[in-house]
Amino acid sequence: MNKHCARLLPAGLLFIAIASACRPATSPGQAVATQPPEPTVVATVSAPDVDAGLLNASLPDDEARRLMAVLAGSTEGDTSAALDRIIAAGDMRFIAVFIDLMRAAHIGLVDGSDYQRYIEALESLSGESFGDDWVAWFEWYGRSDLTPPPGFTSWKGLLLAPIDPGFAAFLQDKFPSRARVEEIQWGGVRVDGIPALDNPKMLAAAEADYLQPGDAVFGLTVNGESRAYPLRILDWHEMANDVIGGVPVSLAYCTLCGAAIAYDGRGPDGVTYTFGSSGFLYRSNKLMYDRPTRTLWNHLTGEPVLGELAGTDFRLNLLPVVLTTWDDWQKQHPNTLVVDIDTGFNRDYSTGAAYADYFADTGTMFPVWQRSDLLDQKDQIFALQVDGEPKAYPIEAFVTEQVINDTVGDVPVVLIGSGDIVELEGRSRRSGVARAWSAGSDVRAYARGDETFAPGEAANVVVDSQGRSWQVTEEALVGPAGESLPRLPGHLAYWFGWFAFFPETAIYGR
């Protein structure tokens, strides 16, 4: 294995991968089934110091388009001559092109014979010397204000199309975009290579004999109907499109950033939206796509970022979701339904089979240039946004403070946790090694109005400043006289995943 590829194996669940993933080749490799790569810590590099005058393009746009096509092999031409022309022109827009060509060589999409020349071109155009460290180049570029040549989005789609033609359909210049396309990465699978669960079969709690009391589940209650989605099943699917209490719901789970977020699928245009996995990542965050328009969405921010809907102010409403144990969830919701382990897919649904190595490791699989060391990269937080104000609550805070009265922006809130962290153990199919890791903690957030709360005598009870008991439910805090304080839709996430898109976030206790 080449040294520059040793930590760049495609991530995701990798049902489909390029066999020559870490070897420059003359043609795409054959599809193979494999396991997720071992997680690694990616390097952090300093921001580029680029003379603003050098950012001006030196090549005519038409010529830049032609040269990109030659370099990708989609147009006849001498790639060596094309490289010479770009370097001589000093056109820094091609830095993005050469970074993507490095990655394409790693996974066998382009002729690897020009690989060293890509590095030489990068060093000549940028003045940097990261050599064959693709991660360092990628993160350096992320910190820059550089832009790619015109036509780059469609060019990138065609570059990746040998893996799946659907990639070219997603990445087109004609679409509006809120994402920096240079940062979109292939995640190791084809479109829907991580298959969504659509209206999965459900069991009554008493029939779910495959579950253990300590198994982690994502729990939702809508219009009085409760459902549980076991973590070890969602690890393999990352998306469940369902109907709960008469409401279409999409539960989107990004294993890499540790966040499960529930969306109300009813759009403001009257269309019901369901979602699938695009095969793309953005700052190590899942890019899902909606099926009606095939627009790419940032799973963590809930924004349509590339496609037909990206040019609108379109938003779906978030729904509250909690991570807890199966034992606690069914005690609180004895009439709950839970996903049947017979999903129709042939997967090993034992705990940790898909991601034990990643969950137990402190490293990440993909480069993310926007990071913070205020917390460890994979520290788990409860992420909350209220009126556009983001705040992160380290889950360790709930071990000592089961009830946290706080204010986010101008809104008084209360967060309620059990004080327990859900600890899991499992064995990775890839490494065969037994691992232990934290899945998170059951935290719920509510708007508290003028009230201040403290823990009650029971797990599902809090008391206000007058000593009155309030019931903790999935939809609201319910007071002794029927008063109701609404639930807020927060969720768990890894710190690096949250900070990548919310660098202005406050941190509780800091």
> Which segment of 182-186, 255-259, 312-316, 400-404 scores lowest on mean pLDDT?
312-316
pLDDT at 103 over 80: yes
Q: Are 205 and 313 a contacting pair, CB within 8 Å? A: no
pLDDT level of residue 478 (50, 70, 90 thresholds): very high
| Residue 495 in this model has a pLDDT that exceeds 50 | yes
pLDDT of residue 510: 86
Mean pLDDT for 310-314 is: 92
Distance CA 342, CA 115 (A): 46
Distance CA 253, CA 231 (A): 9
| Model confidence band, residue 315 (pLDDT cutoffs 50, 70, 90) | confident
State pLDDT tens for residues 367-424: 999 999 999 999 999 999 999 999 999 999 999 999 999 999 999 999 999 989 999 9
pLDDT in tens, 224-266: 999 999 999 999 999 999 999 999 999 999 999 999 999 999 9
> Span 63-76, mean pLDDT?
94
pLDDT value of position 57: 55
Tens of pLDDT, residues 253-264: 999 999 999 999
pLDDT of residue 402: 95
Residue 472 has pLDDT above 50, yes or no: yes
Q: Give the pLDDT confidence score for residue 459 in this predicted structure.
A: 86
Query: Crossing angle of helices 94-106/152-160, nearest 10°?
Result: 10
308 CB-contact burial (10 Å; exposed 0-12 / middle 13-18 / buried 19+) = middle
Query: Is 168's pLDDT higher than 80?
Result: yes
> Is a pLDDT exceeding 60 seen at residue 144?
yes
What is the pLDDT of the chain when averaged over all its residues?
89
Sequence ranges of the domains in the chain:
3-149, 197-339, 371-507
**pLDDT at residue 430 in the model:** 87
Considering only 5-9, 191-195, 394-398, 491-495, which range has the smallest mean pLDDT?
5-9
> Does residue 300 surpass a pLDDT of 60?
yes
Binned at pLDDT 50, 70 and 90, residue 482 comes out as very high
- The per-residue pLDDT for range 42-66, each reduced to its tens digit, is 333 333 443 333 444 589 999 999 9
DSSP string, 49-113: ---GGGGS--S-HHHHHHHHHHHHTSS-S-HHHHHHHHHHHT-TTHHHHHHHHHHHHHTTSSBGG
The helix (H) or strand (E) run that includes residue 394 is strand 389-394
- Contacting residues for 209 by C-beta, under 8 A, at least 6 apart: none
Kindly report which listed range (41-55, 158-172, 352-366, 455-469) carries the lowest average pLDDT score. 41-55
Of 380, 425, 439, 431, give the one whose Cα is nearest residue 38: 431
Choice between 44 and 147, residue whose per-residue pLDDT is larger: 147
Q: Give yes or no for residue 6 having a pLDDT over 80.
A: no
39: which DSSP letter?
A: P
Provide, rounded to the nearest whole percent, the portion of the chain with pLDDT above 90. Answer: 84
- For residues 347-361, give the mean pLDDT: 96
Stretch 173-191: mean pLDDT, rounded?
97
- Which tens digit of pLDDT belongs to each residue from 321-343? 999 999 999 999 999 999 999 99
Please state the rounded mean pLDDT for residues 196-200: 98
Other C-beta atoms within 10 Å of 161: how many? 16
